[in-house]
Chain A
Amino acid sequence: MADVKAEPHTGAVKFSMLIAGAVFALMMVIGLVMRAAQGNLIELEAPFFYQLLSVHGAGMVGTAGLSGAAVMWYFVGRYVPLSARMYWAFIALFLLGVVFILTAIFIGRYGGGWTFLFPLPAISGEAWEPWAAALFMLGYVSIGVGFLLYHLAVGYPIMKHYGGFARALGWHVGFGGADPADAPPPAIVAAAAVTIFNTIGIIVGAAVLVASLVHLLVPGFAVDALLAKNMIFFFGHVFINASIYMAVIAVYEIVPEYTGRPWKTSRVFVLAWTAILLFVMAVYPHHLLQDVVMPPWALVLGQVVSYLSGIPLLAVTAFSLCVYLHGSKMRWDLASSLLVLAVAGWSVGTVPAIIDGMISVNKIMHNTQWVPGHFHIYLLLGVVAMSFGFMAWLVRGTKASESGMSGLDRMAFGAYALGAAGFALMFLISGAMSVPRRWAVHLPEWVLQDRIATAFAVLVVVSTLVFVIKYAVRLGRAPG
């Protein structure tokens, strides 16, 4: 470690974002195809629809994780020395996992959903062979091991450099009364928190994955279904949240370049991130509100923490962004526009999420399209927009002619914001009308919403292609 100096590993990060951008685009096309099929615009065999649903879910969550990891690696690398070899090992394991998952789905015809909910992978009704389910889960194991290495590679230098996670989280400022000037930068506080909760999530996920694999090989070893569901949703919830919380570091680091005001670590910021650290892990029972055999206290915890979870985000990141933007001489280009859009979208996304986190609402809405509505806001208008903003910033030009937004940028940005908002809104409207989620075939009464959503999805796909192609074209010549 001694010979490694702090640097952002731009080449490796750019490569990761190229992969992430391409996979995001591909997964969006798959999403478009599924919505078009539900709207009877094209025909898909139902088993193939569920294969696409599985690859779309796993692909989007995995790629959100990859892009968040790349963002965090880049900016943490500004403050502490990181091992490039570990990053490449992470990428290699990630790609190996992707190969396993794609093989399981498109050759093995696995269609049990990205949540691999026990015991579904083992009872396919001969839609897929056990090896396909096993390979799908081995793909997750490979990605999980990659992320474990990644977090060790980020967490260890942070711990050594800042004198333990307590100080990296800024607890000496938040709880010890130390001067906020002594606090680590926001990127480090966020990275420390994410490293802690995502590592715990991965450890839990690894245990349930291996247990599920054992069950596939020796069906007599049956996991307690409720325990497995708790572990899966703890792992899944923590992982997807980690991807957002990693990506938000781009906002903390990039927006100050546009406003001219550094994003500072305040006492409130520290307390908010400590709350996030706890809430992200405690809130997962809101995924199990329909499991009536769950202990009531756990469900109440899920609802109450759902209410609380929005506060650190809204009070700190969104409010702080407004303060930093207000009265500043903000330069608007594609990167800054997408990053601000992402914080706005993420904040708005908390509203349907909190509504769905209420037990009385969840009883009715949980299996409707309300749920994909809320997480598509988080993803399309949150973490994916942050990733595209980061990509645009990575290849920003230095010439005066390249600053600001071109006509194409404006059109692509507008189309993306409109398409993503409209697409997610159609899910919410459908959910409010009790249209079920995860159904390959829709009743005629539901088809109109599907078709409108398909049109919005086209806007999202086209604008995404503009972002990704522009990024790829500029990769070679921009300063990054």
Chain B
Amino acid sequence: MRRPLLILSIAVFGSCVLFRQTLERDPVTHVLLLLPALAVAGWLMAVSLGRHRLRLREADANALTLLGVFAILFWMLPRYIDASLTNPLVEAAKFISVPLCIGAVLAVSWKATHPFLRGFLKANALSMLGVLAFLYIHAPVRICNSYLEVDQQRLGYGFLFVALALSLVWAVPLFFPADGGATPNKHLSGRATA
């Protein structure tokens, strides 16, 4: 067990609980700060408890990753964001499911997931953040009952900035990978012939 990470995880989770009302007052901080922070808390917890000891098969990792993606999609639905503000049970479910089903699950499964699936999910995340930005900026009605139309428009722009930031964060390592690639700059010997 890595105690400092566990303490950090508890601290992040505790901060989310402590500042819950402040963060939930604004949809931008609710969706783009509180929810990611809860997921980070779950991620840190999984790492601190020794996720590396788990030897997942690729198929299992793929399935777990898709579970995490499903949980993300669920908590992107405006009606559940709304419900978490008015129904204590849904709020509790959010504070349990986001750290466990998103943060912890992805911490365990992400690295073992097939690289094509990871790339596919990243590319789709960028596209769909763009679509969410469009929906929240251009929606002719209030999507969440608890927030004003101007607030949801700010959230729409927030999604757009997150998409741009993620595209940079994800693209740079493709150009300059930390491990320098498996066999840098070596052509395969014995080129196949036509």
Contacts and interface: CB of A to CB of B under 8 A. Distances in A.
B49 interface: no
B157 to A, nearest CB: 13
Given A156-B115, A167-B185, A184-B187, A202 B123 contact: yes
A149 B120 contact: yes
A117 interface: no
Contacts of A163: 177, 180-185
Interface stretch (B28-36, B66-74, B133-141): B133-141
B66 to A, nearest CB: 16
Nearest to A160: B182
A466 interface: no
A273 to B, nearest CB: 14
Interface string A1-19: 1000011101000000000
A224 B138 contact: yes
B185 A182 contact: yes
A262 to B, nearest CB: 12
A167 B183 CA distance: 11
A386 B191 CA distance: 23
Interface residues of B, number: 34
B174 interface: yes
Interface residues of A, number: 49
A221 B139 contact: yes
Nearest to A224: B138
B144 to A, nearest CB: 15
A348 to B, nearest CB: 29
A122 interface: no
Count chain B CB atoms within 10 A of each CB in A80, A161, A393 and give the residue with the most: A161
A415 to B, nearest CB: 28
Contacts of A222: 138, 140
B181 A164 contact: yes
A156 B115 CA distance: 8
A385 B119 CA distance: 33
Contacts of B19: none
A231 to B, nearest CB: 8
A79 B140 contact: no
A156 B131 contact: no
Contacts, number: 117
Interface in B107-148: 115-116, 119-120, 123-124, 126-128, 130-131, 134-135, 138-141
A162 B184 CA distance: 4
Interface in A143-170: 148-149, 152-153, 155-156, 159-167
Interface in B175-194: 175-177, 180-188, 191-192, 194
A203 B138 contact: no
Nearest to A9: B192
Contact of B130 (A1, A74, A207): A207
A185 interface: yes
A206 B187 CA distance: 34
A1 B126 CA distance: 26
Contacts of A10: 194
A223 B175 CA distance: 34
A149 B141 CA distance: 36
Given A8-B192, A203-B126, A159 B177 contact: yes
A221 B135 contact: yes
Interface string B89-119: 0000000000000000000000000011001
Given A6-B192, A8-B192, A221-B139, A164 B176 contact: yes
Contact of B131 (A78, A86, A160, A211): A211
B181 A159 contact: yes
Interface string B155-181: 000000000000000000111110011
Contacts of B176: 164, 166
B124 A206 contact: yes
Contacts of A7: 192
Count chain B CB atoms within 10 A of each CB in A10, A155, A164, A204 and give the residue with the most: A164
18 contacts: A1-B115, A6-B191, A8-B194, A83-B116, A148-B120, A152-B116, A156-B116, A159-B174, A160-B182, A160-B183, A163-B177, A165-B175, A202-B123, A211-B130, A211-B134, A214-B131, A221-B134, A394-B194
Interface of A: 1, 6-8, 10, 74, 77-80, 83, 86, 148-149, 152-153, 155-156, 159-167, 172, 182, 184-185, 199, 202-204, 206-207, 210-211, 214, 220-224, 393-394, 479-480
Given A8-B194, A204-B127, 12 more contacts: A6-B188, A6-B192, A10-B194, A78-B192, A159-B181, A160-B181, A161-B181, A163-B182, A167-B185, A210-B127, A211-B134, A223-B138
Nearest 6 A-B pairs (CB), nearest first? A163-B184, A163-B181, A207-B130, A206-B127, A220-B140, A152-B119
